[in-house]
């Protein structure tokens, strides 16, 4: 299946553009002929992610915290709001920053889109479904989120961001879209950001034990970053308001993932059980019927292939620490 939808943009603002997903989005938009302004405060992003883009015509970097505003000089026709810590280790370390980026930052990004008459896309998350009681999760499911648990700073910020985006569309007529991303992985993740793929790959390559949380039976559905970027841009091009799930429908347990990464990396690492994080969701898998039907989108990169590419990148990239 190929994604049918494309649309050309003149100038896209990507908040969080120096992060993992944001830097791939910036590159894809430049490839498609758009000028791109990346707004990032480098709280969890890395200069290395965008240093190759700095030399490309049409790319501008604005170092700013979106909670204080988006100092963008040229009017955009697309605003992709991707700024937010995303790794549990990062948002547990930055709880207030995460809440403020999801609230004040989202408000500022929406206001820029509205005043520019630009299309707005909010990077929401499968975390809005919390520890789900419906499986797989479709967009009509309201979720099961602990509002005072440690993960709430992220899950509730995303839920608030969705409510704010909806209210902006309803009351101001802003052209908005909500994409709910599920676990995405690939090159440019920080090896130490704590998320499962970079953690396991780094450990496997170093011959260290793989730290599997609990009994490892909890599942995630892993989407390669190129597929996620294609899905986000298809949703941007479509007039849909969403929310729409963008993620892989192929589910894997964390124990099986650890074994697969050890095998693909040709490693002799062992498995070491470690404590399971509080409120760690037991299952997570998107129903992507809506994305398939409306956007003609589904992931194309199988897990083995995507993991091989990620392993190769971590093996070769000296900055991936
Ligand atoms: P990341 O941490 O690599 O990137 C986030 C970027 O946002 C970083 O460059 C960081 O410096 C920047 N940022 C954070 N707060 C900011 C602020 N106040 N002002 C300006 N910049 C700020 O994370 P990622 O994995 O690339 O995630 C990007 C977006 O996608 C996030 O909104 C995240 O919630 C969402 N998302 C990602 C995943 C995933 O699996 N990667 C899944 C669901 C949702
Ligand atoms: N996990 C793990 N070992 C690690 C890091 C994470 O077993 O070193 C588990 C984690 O407990 C969760 C899953 O892997 O069950 C995915 O965690 P991640 O932090 O990547 O993302 P989440 O989906 O929880 O936001």
Nearest partner of 225 among 245, 257, 248, judged by Cα: 248
Start-to-end C-alpha separation, the chain: 36
Q: Which structure tokens are listed for 87?
A: 């790794």
- 294-306, pLDDT tens digit by residue? 999 999 999 999 9
Q: Which residues line ligand 1 (CB under 6 A)?
A: 15-16, 18-22, 39-45, 65-67, 82-86, 90, 101, 105, 123, 125, 181, 183-184
User: Looking at residue 7, what is its pLDDT?
Assistant: 83
Work out the angle between the directed axes of helices 303-316 and 196-206 (0-180°, nearest 10): 60
In this prediction, residue 147 carries a pLDDT of 97
Report the distance separating Cα 126 and Cα 143, nearest Å: 9
pTM as predicted: 0.97
Q: Is the model's pLDDT at 320 over the cut of 60?
A: no
Q: Read off the tokens for 123.
A: 């990077």
Q: Compute, in angstroms, the gap from residue 299 CA to the centroid of ligand 2.
A: 21
Supply φ then ψ for residue 103, to 5 degrees: -105, -75
The arithmetic mean of pLDDT across residues 214-234, rounded, is 98
Q: Are 31 and 56 spatial neighbours (Cβ–Cβ below 8 Å)?
A: no
> What is the number of the ligand closest to the CA of 182?
1
CB of 212 sitting under 6 A from ligand 2: yes
Tokens of 74: 């040229």
pLDDT value at position 2?
Answer: 45
* CB proximity list for 181: less than 8 A, separation 6 or greater: 21, 123, 124, 125, 126, 223, 228, 232, 246, 247
Rounded to an integer, the average pLDDT of 251-264 is 98
CA-based nearest residue to 33, from 50, 56, 4, 65 = 56
50-80 pLDDT tens trace: 999 999 999 999 999 999 999 999 999 999 9
Q: What percent of the chain clears pLDDT 70, i.e. is strictly above it? A: 97
Measure 58 CA to ligand 2 centroid, in angstroms. 37
> Of the residues 213, 219, 225, 251, which should be mutated to test ligand 2's pocket, given the most ligand atoms within 8 Å of the CB?
213
Q: Mutation test of ligand 1: which of 14, 15, 20 has the most ligand atoms closer than 8 Å to its C-beta? A: 20
pLDDT in tens, 115-170: 999 999 999 999 999 999 999 999 999 999 999 999 999 999 999 999 999 999 99
Our answer on whether the CB atom of 205 is closer than 6 Å to any ligand 2 atom is: no
pLDDT at residue 4 is higher than 70: no
- Grade residue 321 by pLDDT with cuts at 50, 70 and 90: low
Instruction: Identify the nearest ligand to the CA of 45 by its number.
Output: 1
- Catalytic annotation present for 154: yes
The answer to whether residue 251 scores a pLDDT higher than 80 is yes
Residue 269 pLDDT > 70: yes
Query: Which is the catalytic residue, given 129, 154, 185, 224?
Result: 154
β-pairing verdict for 223-224 and 184-185: parallel
Contact status, residue 235 vs residue 121, Cβ threshold 8 Å? yes
Work out the mean pLDDT of the chain and round it to a whole number: 96
DSSP annotation of 242 reads -
Domains of the chain, CATH where assigned: 11-319 (3.40.50.720)
Percentage helix, strand, coil, to 5, in the chain?
40, 20, 40
User: How buried is residue 215: exposed, middle or buried, by Cβ count under 10 Å (0-12/13-18/19+)?
Assistant: exposed
- Ligand 2 centroid to Cα of residue 38, in Å, is 28
Of the listed ranges 4-18, 101-115, 269-283, the least confidently predicted one is 4-18
For residues 148 and 236, what is the distance between their CA atoms, to the nearest angstrom? 33
pLDDT tier at 209, thresholds 50, 70, 90: very high
Cα 17–Cα 18–Cα 19 angle in degrees, nearest 5? 90
Closest CA to ligand 2's atom 12: 280
Among the bound ligands, name the one nearest to the CA of residue 282.
2
Q: Which residue's alpha carbon is at the smallest distance from atom 16 of ligand 2? A: 196
Counting atoms of ligand 1 from 1, which one is nearest the CA of 65? 19
pLDDT value, residue 319: 54
- Spatial CA neighbour of 47 closest among 153, 190, 232: 190
* Whole-number pLDDT of residue 105: 98
């Amino acid at each position: 299946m190929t994604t049918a939808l494309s649309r050309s943009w003149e100038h896209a603002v990507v908040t969080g553009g120096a992060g993992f997903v944001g830097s791939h989005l910036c590159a894809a938009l430049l490839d498609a002929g758009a000028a791109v302004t990346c707004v990032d405060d480098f709280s969890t992003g890395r200069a290395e992610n965008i240093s190759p883009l700095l030399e490309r015509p049409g790319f501008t970097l604005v170092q700013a915290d979106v909670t204080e505003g988006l100092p963008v000089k040229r009017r955009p026709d697309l605003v992709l709001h991707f700024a937010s810590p995303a790794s549990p280790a990062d948002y547990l370390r930055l709880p207030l920053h995460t809440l403020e980026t999801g609230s004040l930052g989202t408000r500022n990004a929406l206001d820029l889109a509205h005043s520019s008459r630009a299309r707005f896309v909010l990077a929401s998350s499968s975390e809005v479904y919390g520890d789900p009681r419906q499986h797989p999760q479709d967009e009509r499911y309201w979720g099961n989120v602990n509002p005072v648990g440690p993960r709430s700073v992220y899950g509730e910020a995303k839920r608030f961001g969705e409510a704010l985006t909806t209210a902006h569309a309803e009351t101001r007529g802003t052209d908005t879209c909500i994409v709910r991303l599920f676990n995405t992985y690939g090159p440019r993740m920080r090896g130490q950001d704590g998320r499962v793929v970079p953690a396991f790959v780094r450990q496997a390559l170093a011959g260290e034990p793989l730290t599997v949380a609990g009994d490892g039976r909890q599942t995630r559905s892993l989407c390669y970053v190129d597929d996620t970027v294609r899905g986000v841009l298809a949703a941007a091009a479509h007039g849909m308001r969403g929310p729409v799930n963008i993620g892989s429908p192929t589910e894997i347990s964390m124990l099986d993932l650890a074994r697969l990464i050890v095998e693909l990396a040709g490693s002799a690492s062992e498995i070491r059980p470690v404590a399971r994080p509080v409120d760690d969701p037991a299952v997570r898998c998107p129903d992507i019927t809506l994305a398939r039907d409306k956007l003609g989108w589904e992931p194309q990169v199988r897990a083995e292939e995507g993991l091989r590419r990620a392993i190769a990148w971590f093996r070769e990239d000296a900055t991936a620490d």
